[in-house]
Structure 1
Amino acid sequence: MPELPEGWGWEKLGNIAELIGGVTKGKNLEGKKTLSLPYLRVANVQDGYLDLTEIKNIEVEIQDKDKYRLEFDDVLYTEGGDKDKLGRGAVWRSQIESCIHQNHIFRARVFNGVISSEILSLYWQTKNAKKYFFRHAKQTTNLASIN
Protein backbone atom coordinates (compact mmCIF):
# COMPACT_ATOMS: atom_id res chain seq x y z
CA MET A 1 0.00 0.00 0.00
CA PRO A 2 1.26 3.50 -0.69
CA GLU A 3 2.73 5.66 2.02
CA LEU A 4 0.27 7.93 3.80
CA PRO A 5 0.64 11.34 5.48
CA GLU A 6 1.70 11.35 9.11
CA GLY A 7 -1.15 10.44 11.43
CA TRP A 8 -3.05 8.52 8.73
CA GLY A 9 -3.33 4.75 8.48
CA TRP A 10 -4.77 1.99 6.33
CA GLU A 11 -7.80 0.11 7.62
CA LYS A 12 -9.84 -2.80 6.30
CA LEU A 13 -13.19 -1.73 4.90
CA GLY A 14 -15.04 -4.18 7.17
CA ASN A 15 -13.59 -2.36 10.20
CA ILE A 16 -15.02 1.02 9.21
CA ALA A 17 -18.28 0.07 7.50
CA GLU A 18 -21.02 -2.53 7.54
CA LEU A 19 -20.80 -4.50 4.28
CA ILE A 20 -23.70 -6.31 2.69
CA GLY A 21 -24.39 -7.80 -0.72
CA GLY A 22 -27.76 -7.33 -2.34
CA VAL A 23 -30.77 -9.35 -3.35
CA THR A 24 -30.28 -12.32 -5.67
CA LYS A 25 -32.27 -12.30 -8.90
CA GLY A 26 -34.18 -15.40 -9.91
CA LYS A 27 -34.85 -16.62 -6.38
CA ASN A 28 -37.89 -18.92 -6.10
CA LEU A 29 -40.52 -16.88 -4.23
CA GLU A 30 -43.50 -19.12 -4.90
CA GLY A 31 -45.95 -19.12 -1.98
CA LYS A 32 -44.12 -16.31 -0.14
CA LYS A 33 -45.38 -12.81 0.65
CA THR A 34 -43.54 -10.44 -1.68
CA LEU A 35 -43.50 -6.87 -2.85
CA SER A 36 -42.03 -5.17 -5.89
CA LEU A 37 -39.23 -2.69 -5.24
CA PRO A 38 -36.93 -0.59 -7.43
CA TYR A 39 -33.38 -1.93 -7.41
CA LEU A 40 -29.94 -0.94 -8.62
CA ARG A 41 -28.03 -3.14 -11.05
CA VAL A 42 -24.36 -3.08 -12.03
CA ALA A 43 -25.32 -0.86 -14.99
CA ASN A 44 -26.57 1.80 -12.56
CA VAL A 45 -23.32 2.08 -10.56
CA GLN A 46 -20.66 3.96 -12.49
CA ASP A 47 -17.29 5.36 -11.40
CA GLY A 48 -18.23 8.29 -9.18
CA TYR A 49 -21.92 8.57 -10.07
CA LEU A 50 -25.15 6.64 -10.39
CA ASP A 51 -26.89 6.32 -13.73
CA LEU A 52 -30.56 6.28 -12.74
CA THR A 53 -32.05 6.66 -16.23
CA GLU A 54 -33.29 3.05 -16.24
CA ILE A 55 -34.45 1.56 -12.96
CA LYS A 56 -36.08 -1.84 -12.86
CA ASN A 57 -38.21 -3.46 -10.17
CA ILE A 58 -37.71 -6.84 -8.51
CA GLU A 59 -39.93 -9.06 -6.39
CA VAL A 60 -38.53 -9.65 -2.90
CA GLU A 61 -39.79 -11.24 0.27
CA ILE A 62 -41.37 -8.64 2.52
CA GLN A 63 -38.89 -9.29 5.35
CA ASP A 64 -35.95 -8.56 2.98
CA LYS A 65 -37.06 -4.97 2.30
CA ASP A 66 -35.22 -3.51 5.30
CA LYS A 67 -32.18 -5.78 4.88
CA TYR A 68 -31.42 -4.47 1.38
CA ARG A 69 -32.90 -0.95 1.60
CA LEU A 70 -30.41 1.76 0.71
CA GLU A 71 -29.90 4.68 3.07
CA PHE A 72 -28.55 8.16 2.40
CA ASP A 73 -24.72 8.13 2.29
CA ASP A 74 -24.35 4.40 1.61
CA VAL A 75 -21.35 3.73 -0.61
CA LEU A 76 -22.13 1.30 -3.41
CA TYR A 77 -19.56 -0.61 -5.39
CA THR A 78 -19.74 -3.31 -8.00
CA GLU A 79 -18.33 -6.75 -7.29
CA GLY A 80 -19.06 -8.55 -10.50
CA GLY A 81 -19.62 -8.40 -14.22
CA ASP A 82 -17.22 -7.59 -17.00
CA LYS A 83 -13.74 -6.77 -15.70
CA ASP A 84 -14.09 -3.10 -16.67
CA LYS A 85 -17.15 -2.87 -14.39
CA LEU A 86 -15.42 -4.35 -11.34
CA GLY A 87 -14.91 -1.98 -8.41
CA ARG A 88 -16.91 0.99 -9.66
CA GLY A 89 -18.33 3.02 -6.80
CA ALA A 90 -20.65 5.90 -5.96
CA VAL A 91 -22.55 7.40 -3.02
CA TRP A 92 -26.29 6.87 -2.66
CA ARG A 93 -28.24 10.10 -2.05
CA SER A 94 -31.73 8.58 -1.59
CA GLN A 95 -32.76 9.55 -5.10
CA ILE A 96 -35.39 6.77 -5.24
CA GLU A 97 -37.66 5.84 -2.36
CA SER A 98 -37.44 2.27 -0.99
CA CYS A 99 -34.66 1.33 -3.40
CA ILE A 100 -32.59 -1.82 -2.87
CA HIS A 101 -29.58 -3.31 -4.69
CA GLN A 102 -28.79 -6.58 -6.44
CA ASN A 103 -26.19 -9.10 -5.30
CA HIS A 104 -23.49 -7.87 -7.70
CA ILE A 105 -23.42 -4.58 -5.81
CA PHE A 106 -22.07 -4.31 -2.30
CA ARG A 107 -23.22 -1.65 0.11
CA ALA A 108 -20.77 -0.12 2.57
CA ARG A 109 -22.57 1.75 5.35
CA VAL A 110 -19.86 3.72 7.13
CA PHE A 111 -19.86 3.48 10.92
CA ASN A 112 -20.83 6.78 12.51
CA GLY A 113 -18.33 9.48 11.54
CA VAL A 114 -15.36 7.16 10.90
CA ILE A 115 -14.81 8.48 7.37
CA SER A 116 -16.75 10.54 4.86
CA SER A 117 -18.74 8.44 2.38
CA GLU A 118 -17.55 10.83 -0.34
CA ILE A 119 -13.88 10.19 0.44
CA LEU A 120 -14.47 6.45 0.56
CA SER A 121 -16.24 6.59 -2.79
CA LEU A 122 -13.47 8.69 -4.31
CA TYR A 123 -10.92 6.12 -3.23
CA TRP A 124 -12.66 3.47 -5.40
CA GLN A 125 -11.73 5.57 -8.42
CA THR A 126 -7.97 5.56 -7.76
CA LYS A 127 -5.46 3.39 -9.57
CA ASN A 128 -4.58 1.75 -6.24
CA ALA A 129 -8.16 0.63 -5.63
CA LYS A 130 -8.57 -0.64 -9.19
CA LYS A 131 -5.35 -2.65 -8.89
CA TYR A 132 -6.64 -4.17 -5.65
CA PHE A 133 -9.94 -5.20 -7.23
CA PHE A 134 -8.27 -6.69 -10.31
CA ARG A 135 -5.63 -8.50 -8.25
CA HIS A 136 -8.18 -10.10 -5.90
CA ALA A 137 -10.92 -10.82 -8.44
CA LYS A 138 -11.69 -14.24 -9.76
CA GLN A 139 -12.31 -14.28 -13.48
CA THR A 140 -14.12 -16.83 -15.63
CA THR A 141 -15.05 -16.36 -19.28
CA ASN A 142 -14.82 -12.55 -19.25
CA LEU A 143 -16.77 -12.22 -15.98
CA ALA A 144 -14.93 -11.04 -12.89
CA SER A 145 -16.06 -11.01 -9.28
CA ILE A 146 -14.69 -10.20 -5.85
CA ASN A 147 -16.10 -10.96 -2.44
Structure 2
Amino acid sequence: MFMKPKVAFICVHNSCRSQIAEALGTLFASDTFESYSAGTEQVPFINPDAIKTVLEVYQYDMTNQYSKTLDKIPDVDIVITMGCNVICPFLPCRYREDWGIEDPTGKSAIDFIDTANIIYKKILDLKFRIETGIIT
Protein backbone atom coordinates (compact mmCIF):
# COMPACT_ATOMS: atom_id res chain seq x y z
CA MET A 1 0.00 0.00 0.00
CA PHE A 2 1.30 3.43 -0.99
CA MET A 3 1.80 5.75 1.96
CA LYS A 4 1.65 9.35 0.86
CA PRO A 5 4.76 11.20 1.94
CA LYS A 6 4.38 14.26 4.14
CA VAL A 7 5.94 17.38 2.61
CA ALA A 8 6.82 20.46 4.68
CA PHE A 9 7.24 23.82 2.97
CA ILE A 10 9.44 25.93 5.24
CA CYS A 11 9.96 29.69 5.33
CA VAL A 12 10.94 32.18 8.01
CA HIS A 13 7.52 33.62 8.91
CA ASN A 14 5.23 31.03 7.32
CA SER A 15 3.09 33.84 5.95
CA CYS A 16 3.50 33.88 2.18
CA ARG A 17 5.51 31.50 -0.05
CA SER A 18 5.29 28.46 2.22
CA GLN A 19 1.56 29.09 2.70
CA ILE A 20 1.05 29.35 -1.07
CA ALA A 21 2.96 26.06 -1.47
CA GLU A 22 0.81 24.34 1.17
CA ALA A 23 -2.35 25.55 -0.59
CA LEU A 24 -1.23 24.57 -4.10
CA GLY A 25 0.17 21.26 -2.86
CA THR A 26 -3.19 20.50 -1.29
CA LEU A 27 -5.07 21.61 -4.40
CA PHE A 28 -2.95 19.92 -7.08
CA ALA A 29 -1.05 17.07 -5.41
CA SER A 30 -3.08 15.77 -2.46
CA ASP A 31 -3.40 12.43 -4.26
CA THR A 32 0.40 12.08 -4.11
CA PHE A 33 1.56 13.84 -0.93
CA GLU A 34 0.29 15.63 2.17
CA SER A 35 1.21 19.31 2.34
CA TYR A 36 2.21 21.23 5.45
CA SER A 37 3.86 24.58 5.96
CA ALA A 38 5.72 26.06 8.88
CA GLY A 39 8.22 28.72 9.76
CA THR A 40 11.07 29.38 12.07
CA GLU A 41 8.94 32.23 13.46
CA GLN A 42 5.19 32.69 13.70
CA VAL A 43 3.23 35.77 12.59
CA PRO A 44 -0.33 36.79 13.51
CA PHE A 45 -1.78 36.35 10.00
CA ILE A 46 -1.12 35.10 6.48
CA ASN A 47 -0.12 37.72 3.93
CA PRO A 48 -3.43 39.05 2.54
CA ASP A 49 -1.90 39.39 -0.94
CA ALA A 50 -0.98 35.69 -0.90
CA ILE A 51 -4.55 34.76 0.06
CA LYS A 52 -5.98 37.06 -2.63
CA THR A 53 -3.63 35.74 -5.34
CA VAL A 54 -4.35 32.06 -4.67
CA LEU A 55 -8.08 32.75 -4.59
CA GLU A 56 -8.09 34.79 -7.81
CA VAL A 57 -5.65 32.68 -9.83
CA TYR A 58 -6.39 29.17 -8.55
CA GLN A 59 -9.87 29.58 -6.98
CA TYR A 60 -8.58 28.13 -3.69
CA ASP A 61 -9.53 29.66 -0.34
CA MET A 62 -6.55 29.82 2.05
CA THR A 63 -8.42 31.56 4.87
CA ASN A 64 -8.40 28.41 7.04
CA GLN A 65 -4.60 28.25 6.93
CA TYR A 66 -2.55 29.90 9.68
CA SER A 67 1.07 30.63 10.51
CA LYS A 68 2.74 27.91 12.58
CA THR A 69 6.20 26.99 13.78
CA LEU A 70 8.12 23.81 12.97
CA ASP A 71 7.07 22.11 16.19
CA LYS A 72 3.38 22.37 15.17
CA ILE A 73 3.58 20.06 12.15
CA PRO A 74 3.90 16.25 12.11
CA ASP A 75 7.10 14.40 11.31
CA VAL A 76 7.70 14.80 7.58
CA ASP A 77 9.40 12.85 4.81
CA ILE A 78 10.35 15.75 2.53
CA VAL A 79 11.44 19.29 3.44
CA ILE A 80 11.25 22.10 0.89
CA THR A 81 12.78 25.39 1.97
CA MET A 82 11.55 28.36 0.01
CA GLY A 83 14.82 30.29 -0.26
CA CYS A 84 14.81 32.50 2.79
CA ASN A 85 18.57 33.06 2.96
CA VAL A 86 18.67 31.88 6.55
CA ILE A 87 19.91 28.69 8.10
CA CYS A 88 16.87 26.57 8.81
CA PRO A 89 16.95 24.50 11.96
CA PHE A 90 17.40 20.79 11.46
CA LEU A 91 14.15 19.07 10.58
CA PRO A 92 14.54 15.31 10.18
CA CYS A 93 13.47 14.02 6.76
CA ARG A 94 14.40 11.58 4.00
CA TYR A 95 14.85 14.25 1.33
CA ARG A 96 15.35 18.02 1.30
CA GLU A 97 15.75 20.73 -1.32
CA ASP A 98 15.64 24.52 -1.55
CA TRP A 99 13.44 26.21 -4.14
CA GLY A 100 15.14 29.63 -3.91
CA ILE A 101 11.98 31.65 -4.51
CA GLU A 102 12.10 35.38 -3.89
CA ASP A 103 9.60 36.74 -1.36
CA PRO A 104 6.97 38.93 -3.11
CA THR A 105 5.89 40.64 0.14
CA GLY A 106 5.56 44.38 -0.41
CA LYS A 107 5.67 44.01 -4.18
CA SER A 108 3.05 44.23 -6.92
CA ALA A 109 0.14 41.91 -7.68
CA ILE A 110 2.06 40.72 -10.75
CA ASP A 111 4.97 39.69 -8.51
CA PHE A 112 2.57 37.66 -6.36
CA ILE A 113 1.06 35.99 -9.43
CA ASP A 114 4.53 35.22 -10.80
CA THR A 115 5.55 33.72 -7.44
CA ALA A 116 2.39 31.61 -7.22
CA ASN A 117 2.93 30.36 -10.77
CA ILE A 118 6.55 29.39 -10.01
CA ILE A 119 5.35 27.50 -6.93
CA TYR A 120 2.58 25.83 -8.96
CA LYS A 121 5.11 24.53 -11.52
CA LYS A 122 7.43 23.32 -8.75
CA ILE A 123 4.51 21.53 -7.03
CA LEU A 124 3.69 19.69 -10.26
CA ASP A 125 7.37 18.79 -10.74
CA LEU A 126 7.63 17.54 -7.14
CA LYS A 127 4.46 15.48 -7.64
CA PHE A 128 5.92 13.93 -10.81
CA ARG A 129 9.24 13.11 -9.11
CA ILE A 130 7.46 11.43 -6.20
CA GLU A 131 5.09 9.48 -8.46
CA THR A 132 7.92 8.23 -10.69
CA GLY A 133 10.19 7.29 -7.79
CA ILE A 134 12.84 9.93 -8.49
CA ILE A 135 12.27 11.06 -4.90
CA THR A 136 11.67 8.18 -2.51
Q: Considering the TM-score relative to the shorter chain, is it more than 0.5?
A: no
Q: TM-score, normalised by structure 1?
A: 0.26
TM-score, L = length of structure 2: 0.28
Say which structure is richer in helix: 2
- Quick check: which one's strand share is greater? 1
